[in-house]
Structure 1
Amino acid sequence: MQRITNLLAVKDGKVLLLQKPRRGWYVAPGGKMELGESIYESAVREFQEETNLTPNDVHLKGAYTMIIKNNETVVDEWMLYTFVANDVEGTPFVETREGILGWHSIDSIKELPMAEGDRTNLLFAALNKGMQYGTFEYTEDFELISERIQNSLEQN
């Protein structure tokens, strides 16, 4: 099972998103974990590689199971760990082989083209306290079949 991390930077009511060249969909910067990495280390490394920025105040906001199906047959499954940073330092890239980087209003997450599971987890990461857990099932063309979401808020 593949493990993926992403990190959403939130600053001044905006989020930093990467528009991927293949579909034109928007994502939070991230990618595959390397052997021996913690999910935190992976999220920070991937974010830095794709943005040229250092994230500050980084914390985990969600853990998700992503399932790709062909009819009832599971053809792929991976885990996604979503982090949020409440500030960044440095000068960002504008465009790389990974896509075009830009700041967008938090509300734009509701309308920008992206996988529906990403829309769910990025809105939660940007707007809510606590953690979110979920399972997203997709077709091989990334059409959402179903989602099951659980939220928790620490009471300390």
Structure 2
Amino acid sequence: MQRIANLIVLKDQQVLLLKKPRRNWYVAPGGKMEAGESIYSAAIREFQEETNTVPVKPHLKGVYTMIVQDEQQIENEWMLFTFVSHDLEGIPFEVTKEGILEWHPVEALAHLPMAEGDRTNLQFAVSGQGVQYGTFVYTHDFDLIKQDIQASYEGEKQ
């Protein structure tokens, strides 16, 4: 199973997003983890590679299982670890081999074109408390079939 780490920066009520050329969908900068790499290190490394900046004090906000299925057959499955940072050091690239980096008002997460699972996890990353967990099941064309979401909060009584 592939492991992906991404990281969204929320600064001055703006979020830094990467517009991918294939679908013109927005994502948080990130990518595949390397063998033996921690999710934290992967999120920082991928963010640096894709933005030319360094996130300041990132922390984990979500752990997700992403599934693409055809009928009832699973075609692809991966784990996604989403981090948030409230600042960055450096000046981001404008265009990279991965796409176009753009700052958007945090409210734009509600309507920018993106996978619905990404919308859910990125909105939580920038405004939710605690850590969110979930499973998102998509068709081959990335239409959301179903989702299952939970969250945990530090200090919550069990």
Give the shorter-chain TM-score range: over 0.9
SS at match of 2:123: helix
Give the alignment of 1:1-156 within 5 angstroms. 1-155=1-155
1:106 to partner: Cα distance: 0.7
Question: Hey, what's the Cα distance between the residues in 2 that align with 1:127 and 1:105?
Answer: 13
Report the AA paired with residue 44 of structure 2: V
Deviations 1:63-121 (A, max 9, x none): 00001100011111000000001100101100011000011011100000000000000
Question: Hey, what's the Cα distance between the residues in 1 that align with 2:50 and 2:108?
Answer: 21
1:25 to partner: Cα distance: 0.1
Question: Hey, what's the Cα distance between the residues in 1 that align with 2:108 and 2:91?
Answer: 23
Question: Hey, what's the Cα distance between the residues in 2 that align with 1:70 and 1:137?
Answer: 10
Report the AA paired with residue 11 of structure 2: K
1:49 to partner: Cα distance: 0.3
Question: Hey, what's the Cα distance between the residues in 2 that align with 1:2 and 1:105?
Answer: 31
Percentage identity across aligned positions?
A: 62
* Count of residues paired in the alignment: 156
Report the AA paired with residue 85 of structure 1: S
Q: Give the alignment's TM-score, normalised by structure 2.
A: 0.97
1:155 to partner: Cα distance: 1.1
Q: Give the alignment's TM-score, normalised by structure 1.
A: 0.98
Question: Hey, what's the Cα distance between the residues in 1 that align with 2:83 and 2:70?
Answer: 29
Report the AA paired with residue 69 of structure 2: K
Report the AA paired with residue 149 of structure 1: I
1:36 to partner: Cα distance: 1.1
SS at match of 1:57: coil
Q: Give the unaligned 5+ runs of structure 2.
A: none
Structure 1 segments (4+ residues) deviating >3 Å:
none
Question: Hey, what's the Cα distance between the residues in 2 that align with 1:35 and 1:151?
Answer: 28
Report the AA paired with residue 49 of structure 1: E
Report the AA paired with residue 116 of structure 2: E
SS at match of 1:126: helix
Report the AA paired with residue 40 of structure 1: Y
Question: Hey, what's the Cα distance between the residues in 2 that align with 1:151 and 1:113?
Answer: 25
SS at match of 2:155: coil
